[in-house]
């Protein structure tokens, strides 16, 4: 038999190579398309799109694998590009949240000062839901970076059957969706905004029972958290239906401006304001929402003279700030603050202070203008939101409340220490593992670097710090870093807030510590994480979790919900069948410990908290 000539394939080998040139790249594209569609959380139609595209590529590939090598390579590269683009872009467009369940029958009409509002019933017809009601004019155009204006009077009926778009904030991207598929964290749906965004989002939502316990119910106004950068009153975790269904209170959630649109300070803004200050527009929005509640909540069966404000994280800081501003006088009758307060230092947020001074905040505003080519305020108002956000990103530390001279005439801790805060019943606390979400992307745990940084930061107090937060091994360093941040930022702040209210005010203060680990499969390592208590206190277990809850969880939920409702009703969380909760004045070294078995307990980590109470460095 003649040997094959050089440069020619044997008849047996040519089909094999052709098959490999077809199946290997096609199999690779199938894997890539499937992985990307999964990472993208693609809906069914996204998977179908990728499957159809791969089928077309498979059919066409049988043709181009017979062509020259250069054409084959180009064709497969083009096919790969189409698969990647299709798989990463096949995601549902964000939609506003619809109020109610499946039935969504129209509610009874309510006459507000701005006109008639009609909401929807829940399926059980136990609660009427009124979503997306404007409490201020849209802060767009000339109203961007101005105090909120009252809403216009309407002649037509407002259909409050869906929540509004949410304030401008980051939206879901392929990267964030992919990261959430790879790294499991609690409260995923709450942390990653699922809704469309708009500057036109100054709205609130009301839930009322169809069988109220009385003609005038106390009101709970919940202010969402999110670091003054994310969050909204539409999130299911904050939903007011369950509490309203008790018939004991009317619940309200609100939106307010966030980020640079909510907290830009600038001398030119102060000059035009009419009150010689700028910034804190997000807090002014909260005040406008409370004004709307004061004017209109009676039409929903609420008592405008019994309004408790509540919030967690930045929402907790917000209610603390509202307690420190004289602008809230007459609007607030009780405060519930969770894992967020206004007890940090004032200076420069880039240097780890909680709030900027007016000068620092205005300087940040000037720097933003410079990044926009020296634009004036009027020119910035005419710019697109995306352009503003891009320029503001590197200055993000400053887009939060500042001591502006109007909303806040001095650092809030000074207001509370002088006894000039709103003297109302106060219920505050925090969680045992506030910083544990950092485990999703752990910090550096080099032992030598940790000890060096401790000595540089704490000087003469370094040895005391290392006694409280040792770092002999990387594992110990990680534990100490997380515990120190929890103690420094959260536990210290809530302790100080409760105690200073007890010392300088006449109204009672109550302090709690939440140490229960939710039974979320694979997430137990986060412990009693930041935000874990919200679903328990507001009767929303399962709103942002598929945990397999136990009898202990439901018992804890019932206890916390009862305490919260009692507090909103009377200013005192105590009630029949509940463990007695002492005031801070009655038991200054104790807290209400929320766990599988709740009750009064010694305050957590007293030596560490006292260390931070005496610390004179910056505290956020």
Q: pLDDT at position 472, please?
A: 97
Q: Which of 343, 601, 288, 600 is nearest to 495 (CA)?
A: 343
The answer to whether residue 13 scores a pLDDT higher than 80 is: no
The reply to whether 417 and 432 lie within a common domain is no
Tens of pLDDT, residue by residue over 349-390, are 999 999 999 999 999 999 999 999 999 999 999 999 999 999
104 occurs within a structural domain: yes
How many angstroms separate the first and last alpha carbons of the chain? 86
Catalytic position from the list 42, 180, 265, 313: 313
On whether the CB atoms of residues 237 and 543 are closer than 8 A, the answer is: yes
State the maximum Cα–Cα separation within the chain, in Å, rounded to a whole number.
109
Q: What is the DSSP letter of 106?
A: B
Q: pLDDT at position 1, please?
A: 42
Question: Looking at 405, 421, 437, which one is the last position of a domain?
Answer: 421
Tens of pLDDT, residue by residue over 543-574, are 999 899 999 999 999 999 999 999 999 999 99
Residue 184's pLDDT band (cuts 50, 70, 90): confident
The reply to whether 471 and 531 lie within a common domain is yes
Question: Looking at 387, 421, 455, which one is the last position of a domain?
Answer: 421
On whether the CB atoms of residues 380 and 389 are closer than 8 A, the answer is: no
How many C-beta atoms lie closer than 10 Å to residue 181's C-beta? 14
Q: Which domain holds residue 496?
A: 425-620
Question: Looking at 421, 455, 470, which one is the last position of a domain?
Answer: 421
The answer to whether residue 7 scores a pLDDT higher than 60 is: no
CA 89 – CA 84 distance, rounded (Å): 8
Q: Which of 197, 310, 296 is nearest to 253 (CA)?
A: 310
Average pLDDT over the chain, rounded to an integer: 95
Tens of pLDDT, residue by residue over 424-459, are 999 999 999 999 999 999 999 999 999 999 999 999
The reply to whether 452 and 524 lie within a common domain is yes
337 occurs within a structural domain: yes
Residue 207: strand pairing partners: 129, 251
The reply to whether 480 and 594 lie within a common domain is yes
6 occurs within a structural domain: no
The reply to whether 225 and 284 lie within a common domain is yes
The reply to whether 127 and 43 lie within a common domain is no
The reply to whether 366 and 497 lie within a common domain is no
313 is catalytic: yes
The reply to whether 197 and 220 lie within a common domain is yes
Q: pLDDT at position 69, please?
A: 81
The reply to whether 449 and 368 lie within a common domain is no
402 occurs within a structural domain: yes
The answer to whether residue 138 scores a pLDDT higher than 60 is: yes
218 occurs within a structural domain: yes
What tokens does 323 get?
């307690």
What tokens does 529 get?
């994480």
For the stretch 149-176, what's the b/e string if a residue is b when 16 or more beta carbons lie within 10 angstroms of its beta carbon?
A: eebeeeeeebebbbbbbbbbbeebebee
The answer to whether residue 111 scores a pLDDT higher than 90 is: yes
Residue 65's pLDDT band (cuts 50, 70, 90): confident
CA 549 – CA 529 distance, rounded (Å): 16
7 occurs within a structural domain: no
- The total domain count for the chain is 3
Where is pLDDT greater, at 69 or 602? 602
Catalytic position from the list 398, 406, 513, 530: 530
Q: pLDDT at position 20, please?
A: 80
1 occurs within a structural domain: no
Tens of pLDDT, residue by residue over 264-316, are 999 999 999 999 999 999 999 999 999 999 999 999 999 999 999 999 999 99
Q: Which of 370, 374, 139, 353 is nearest to 261 (CA)?
A: 139
CA 486 – CA 566 distance, rounded (Å): 29
Q: pLDDT at position 6, please?
A: 47
5 occurs within a structural domain: no
On whether the CB atoms of residues 527 and 438 are closer than 8 A, the answer is: no
Q: pLDDT at position 176, please?
A: 87
The reply to whether 379 and 429 lie within a common domain is no
Residue 392: strand pairing partners: none
Distance of CA 436 to the CA centre of its chain: 16
Tens of pLDDT, residue by residue over 506-540, are 999 999 999 999 999 999 999 999 999 999 999 99
Catalytic position from the list 241, 248, 291, 434: 434
What percent of the chain clears pLDDT 70, i.e. is strictly above it?
A: 98
The reply to whether 496 and 585 lie within a common domain is yes
530 is catalytic: yes
CATH number of the domain bearing residue 357: 3.40.50.1820
Q: pLDDT at position 10, please?
A: 46
Residue 92's pLDDT band (cuts 50, 70, 90): confident
The arithmetic mean of pLDDT across residues 110-137, rounded, is 98
513 is catalytic: no
Where is pLDDT greater, at 618 or 5? 618
Residue 228's pLDDT band (cuts 50, 70, 90): very high
Tens of pLDDT, residue by residue over 326-349, are 999 999 999 999 999 999 999 999
The reply to whether 77 and 131 lie within a common domain is no
On whether the CB atoms of residues 128 and 104 are closer than 8 A, the answer is: no
The answer to whether residue 109 scores a pLDDT higher than 80 is: yes
């Amino acid at each position: 038999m003649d040997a094959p000539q050089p440069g020619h394939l044997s008849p047996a080998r040519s089909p094999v190579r052709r098959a490999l040139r077809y199946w290997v790249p096609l199999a690779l594209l199938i894997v890539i398309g499937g992985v990307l569609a999964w990472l993208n959380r693609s809906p069914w139609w996204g998977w179908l799109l990728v499957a159809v595209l791969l089928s077309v590529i498979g059919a066409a590939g049988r043709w181009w694998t017979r062509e020259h090598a250069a054409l084959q390579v180009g064709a497969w590269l083009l096919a790969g590009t189409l698969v990647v683009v299709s798989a990463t872009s096949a995601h549902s467009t964000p939609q506003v949240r619809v109020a109610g369940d499946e039935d969504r029958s129209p509610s009874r009409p309510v006459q507000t000062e701005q006109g008639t509002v009609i909401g929807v019933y829940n399926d059980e017809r136990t609660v009427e839901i009124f979503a997306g009601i404007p409490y201020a004019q849209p802060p767009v155009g000339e109203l961007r970076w101005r105090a909120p204006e009252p809403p216009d009077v309407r002649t037509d009926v407002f259909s409050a059957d869906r929540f509004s778009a949410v304030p401008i904030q980051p939206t879901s991207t392929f990267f964030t969706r992919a990261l959430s598929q790879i790294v499991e964290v609690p409260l995923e749906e709450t942390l990653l905004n699922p809704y469309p965004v708009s500057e036109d989002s100054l709205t609130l939502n009301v839930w009322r029972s169809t069988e109220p316990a009385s003609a005038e119910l106390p009101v709970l106004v919940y202010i969402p958290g999110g670091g003054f950068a994310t969050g909204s009153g539409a999130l299911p975790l904050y939903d007011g239906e369950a509490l309203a269904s008790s018939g004991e209170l009317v619940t309200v959630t609100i939106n307010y401006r966030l980020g640079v649109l909510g907290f830009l300070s600038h001398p030119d803004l102060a000059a035009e304001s009419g009150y010689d200050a700028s910034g804190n527009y997000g807090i002014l929005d909260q005040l406008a929402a409370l004004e709307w509640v004061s004017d209109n909540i009676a039409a929903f069966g609420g008592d405008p003279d019994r309004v408790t404000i509540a919030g967690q994280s930045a929402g907790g800081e917000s209610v603390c700030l509202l307690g420190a501003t004289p602008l809230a006088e007459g609007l607030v009758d009780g405060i519930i603050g969770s894992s967020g307060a206004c007890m940090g230092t004032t200076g420069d947020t880039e240097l780890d202070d909680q709030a900027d001074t007016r000068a620092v905040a205005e300087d940040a505003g000037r720097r933003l203008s410079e990044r926009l080519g020296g634009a004036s305020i009027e020119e910035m108002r005419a710019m697109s939101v995306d352009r503003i956000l891009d320029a503001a990103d590197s200055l993000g530390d400053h887009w939060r409340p500042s001591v502006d001279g109007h909303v806040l005439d001095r650092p809030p801790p000074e207001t509370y220490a002088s006894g000039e805060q709103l003297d109302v019943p106060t219920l505050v606390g925090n969680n045992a593992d506030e910083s544990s979400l950092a485990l999703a992307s752990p910090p550096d745990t080099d032992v030598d670097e940790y000890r060096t940084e401790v000595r540089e930061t704490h000087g003469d107090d370094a040895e005391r710090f290392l006694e409280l937060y040792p770092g002999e091994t990387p594992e110990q360093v990680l534990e100490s870093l997380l515990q120190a941040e929890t103690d420094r930022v959260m536990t210290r702040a809530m302790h100080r807030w409760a105690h200073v209210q007890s010392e300088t005010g006449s109204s009672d203060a109550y302090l709690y510590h939440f140490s229960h680990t939710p039974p979320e499969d694979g997430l137990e390592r986060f412990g009693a994480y930041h935000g874990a208590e919200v679903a328990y206190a507001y009767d929303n277990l399962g709103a942002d979790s598929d945990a397999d809850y136990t009898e202990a969880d439901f018992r804890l939920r019932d206890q916390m919900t009862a305490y919260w409702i009692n507090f909103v009703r009377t200013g005192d969380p105590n009630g029949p069948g509940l463990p007695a909760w002492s005031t801070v004045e009655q038991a200054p070294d104790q807290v209400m410990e929320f766990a599988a078995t709740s009750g009064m307990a010694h305050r957590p980590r007293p030596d560490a908290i006292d260390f931070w109470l005496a610390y004179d460095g910056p505290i956020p």
